[in-house]
């Protein structure tokens, strides 16, 4: 059996950057065990399997729907394509002030002796947001050596499942600047560092919109691969996060 497979880098227009995912097009249903084996073989954080809704559907035809709806554990997730961007419609998650002493050991494990300007917690997503001092440049966040495995023993509250480090952006007005930068770590789910994280930006968008007084923002996640996200907040408690994409591999799995 031949199964068409693609590797797509999201939130970037350049190969080998952004968030990589494998996509398989299934003509026939596969056993769940085979899904897992394919995902293990691809060795990426996400592998998607696309099945036909109807036997007469044809993968060679372009999808005529303007919006695709994904049913997820977090509810319905709608996406659409706008020119060279894919737009995700996500719920916006607010943050509450976090008592520093409760998470001090975790923050020290992540940032060492760096100056922390603000600490927030998102109860809906169980993410801790740590804002570094505005005095730091983007390069400081990019070059920060983080041993995320240490977070597991340093986190004592039992309520943190993801750690966001973030930094206010700087723009000199001469070129495209970013409103804020971030990195995201989730060793509690086996992800030491995620390259680019849409769900984390559903938290970051709420925080930085409040801080900057803006509803339209441009963000950059400073992982080794890096990725750019265009953000638009709406009054209905939703946020649209848009990114470009690059298809870097097309082929077939032989099963």
Distance CA 197, CA 139 (A): 19
Q: So which residues are the catalytic ones? A: 46
Alpha carbon separation from 231 to 38, 44, 88, 97, 208 (Å, rounded)? 33, 25, 10, 23, 11
Distance CA 124, CA 116 (A): 23
Distance CA 21, CA 193 (A): 15
* Residues in contact with 217: Cβ distance below 8 Å, sequence separation at least 6, in sequence order: 179, 180, 205, 208, 209, 230, 231
């Amino acid at each position: 059996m031949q199964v068409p497979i693609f590797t797509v880098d999201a939130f970037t227009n350049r190969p080998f950057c952004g968030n990589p995912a494998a996509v398989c097009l299934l003509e026939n249903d596969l056993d769940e065990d085979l899904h897992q084996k394919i995902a293990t073989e691809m060795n990426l954080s996400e592998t998607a399997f696309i099945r036909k809704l109807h036997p007469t559907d044809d993968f060679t035809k372009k999808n005529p729907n303007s919006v695709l709806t994904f049913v997820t554990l977090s509810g319905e997730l709608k996406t659409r394509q706008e020119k060279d961007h894919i737009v995700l419609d996500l719920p916006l998650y607010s943050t509450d002030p976090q008592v520093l002493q409760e998470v001090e050991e975790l923050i020290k494990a992540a940032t060492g002796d760096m100056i922390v300007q603000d600490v927030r917690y998102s109860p809906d997503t169980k993410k801790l947001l740590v804002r570094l001092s505005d005095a730091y440049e983007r390069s400081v966040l990019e070059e920060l050596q983080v041993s995320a495995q240490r977070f597991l023993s340093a986190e004592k509250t039992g309520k943190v499942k993801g750690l966001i480090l973030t930094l206010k952006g700087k723009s000199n007005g001469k070129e495209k600047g970013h409103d804020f930068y971030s990195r995201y770590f989730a060793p509690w789910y086996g992800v030491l560092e995620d390259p680019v994280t849409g769900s984390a930006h559903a938290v970051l968008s709420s925080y930085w919109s409040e801080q900057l007084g803006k509803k339209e923002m441009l963000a950059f996640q400073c992982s080794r691969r890096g990725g750019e996200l265009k953000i638009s907040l709406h009054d209905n408690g939703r946020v649209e996060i848009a990114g470009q994409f690059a298809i870097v591999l097309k082929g077939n799995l032989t099963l």
